[in-house]
Amino acid sequence: MPIDWFTVIAQAINFLILLWLLKRFLYRPIIDGLDARESKIAGVLADADNKKKQALELQNQYEKSLNSIEQQGTKIVASAKKEAELTAKNILDEARQSADILLKKRLAAMQQEISQSRQDVLQESMREVYALCRKVLGDLADNELESMLFEKLIQRLNTLEENQSSELKHALVNSGNRVLVRSVFSLSNVQLSRLQHCLQDKFVTDKQQTIEVTQSLVPQLITGVELTLNGWKISWSAQNYLTELQQQVEAALDLSPSNNNTDEHAESAN
C-alpha cells in the first residue's frame, strides 16, 4: 500500500478548498438563514408575548370596567327601584290622601246633608211644636194671663241679683231713663205706673229724675211682657219659654253641626 505524498498534499489542499467553498455556499447562508429565522421567530414570540400581556391587561381592564359597570348598573337599578318605590308610595299616599280628602268631604257633605235634613226635620217639627204651642198659648192667652205674667216681671225686677241690678241702673242712665215695654196685649195705665214706680224706687238713685215708660205691642211674643232699654232686656214671655225649650231640645239631641264635624275629624285622624 504505497502512499502517494503528492496526492496526500493535493487532497489536503482539496479538502481545505472544499471547506472554504462549503463555508461560502452552504454553512454561512444556511446558518445565517437559521439565525435570521430564529431571531424572527423569537421576535414574533416576543411580540406575541407582548400582545398576550397587552391582551391580558386589556382583559383585566375590561373585566374591571365590566365589574364597575355591573356595580353601577346594580346601583342604578337599586336607586331606580327605590325611586320607583318612593314615587309609587308617594302616588299611593297622594291617592290615599286625596281619597281620604274626598271621602272626608263626601262624609262631611253627607253629614252636613244628614244634619241639615235632621235640622230641617227638627226645625219643621219644632216649628210645628211652636205653632202648636203658640196656638195653645194664643188660645189660652188673655188679659188675666197677661197680668199674671206682668206680676211675674215685677217680681223678677224686685228679686234681681246685685250685679244685675247695677247693670240695669247703668242701662237706665245710658238710655236717659227711657224704658220700652213690649207685650201682646196692651197694658193698663195702672200696670204701667206700677212698673215705673218699681223702676223708680229700685234702680234710680237720683230721685229728681223720672223714668219714661213707653209701650209697644208685639204679637210675635205670643204671650208675656218684655222690658228693653239701651240693649238691656228683661222679659217674661211665652216666646222666651219656647226659645229656651228649643235650646234645651237642641242641646239634648246634640244637633250642633260644628260638634258633629269635630267628632268626625277626630275619628278620621284615629
Distance of closest approach, residue 14 Cβ to other proteins, in angstroms: 5
Comparison of 14 and 155: residue with beta carbon closer to other proteins: 14
Phi-psi region of 224 (alpha: psi -120 to 50; beta: other; left: phi over 0): left
Binding mask 100-119 for other proteins (x = CB under 8 A): --------------------
Sign of CA dihedral 84, 90, 93, 94: negative
C-beta separation of 205 from 169 below 8 A = yes
Residues that bind other proteins (rule: CB under 8 A) add up to a total of 34
Shortest separation between residue 12's beta carbon and other proteins, angstroms: 4
The 181-220 contact track toward other proteins, x by CB under 8 A, reads ----------------------------------------
Nearer to other proteins, 34 or 80 (CB): 34
Q: In terms of CB distance, is 47 or 212 closer to other proteins?
A: 47
Q: Which three cell numbers stand for residue 127?
A: 216649628
CB of 38 to other proteins, least distance (A): 10
Q: How many CB atoms lie within 10 A of CB 200?
A: 17
- The x, y and z cell numbers of residue 202, run together, are 229700685
Q: For residue 178, give Cα distances in angstroms to 75, 118, 162, 200, 221.
A: 89, 43, 21, 11, 21
Name which of residues 12 to 51 contact other proteins (CB under 8 A): 12, 14-19, 21-23, 25-27, 29-34, 36-37, 40-41
Smallest gap from Cβ 23 to other proteins, in A, equals 5
Q: Which stretch binds other proteins (CB under 8 A): 4-12, 132-140, 191-199, 250-258?
A: 4-12
Nearer to other proteins, 16 or 58 (CB): 16
Nearer Cβ to other proteins (22/91): 22
Q: Which backbone phi and psi does 232 adopt, to 5 degrees?
A: -105, 140
Cβ 50 to other proteins shortest distance, Å? 19
Q: Closest separation between CB of residue 54 and other proteins, Å?
A: 23
Distance CA 236, CA 181 (A): 11
Question: CB within 8 A of 268, min separation 6: which ones?
Answer: 100, 104, 107
Contact by Cβ (8 Å): 141, 184 = yes
Provide the greatest CA pair distance for the chain.
203
CB of 39 to other proteins, least distance (A): 10
CB nearer other proteins, residue 39 or residue 209: 39
Q: How far apart are CA 208 and CA 115, in angstroms?
A: 57
Under rule CB under 8 A, residue 7 binds other proteins: yes
Minimum Å gap between C-beta 9 and other proteins is 7
SS3 content of the chain, % helix, strand, coil (to 5): 80, 10, 15
Binding footprint of other proteins on the chain (CB under 8 A): 1-12, 14-19, 21-23, 25-27, 29-34, 36-37, 40-41
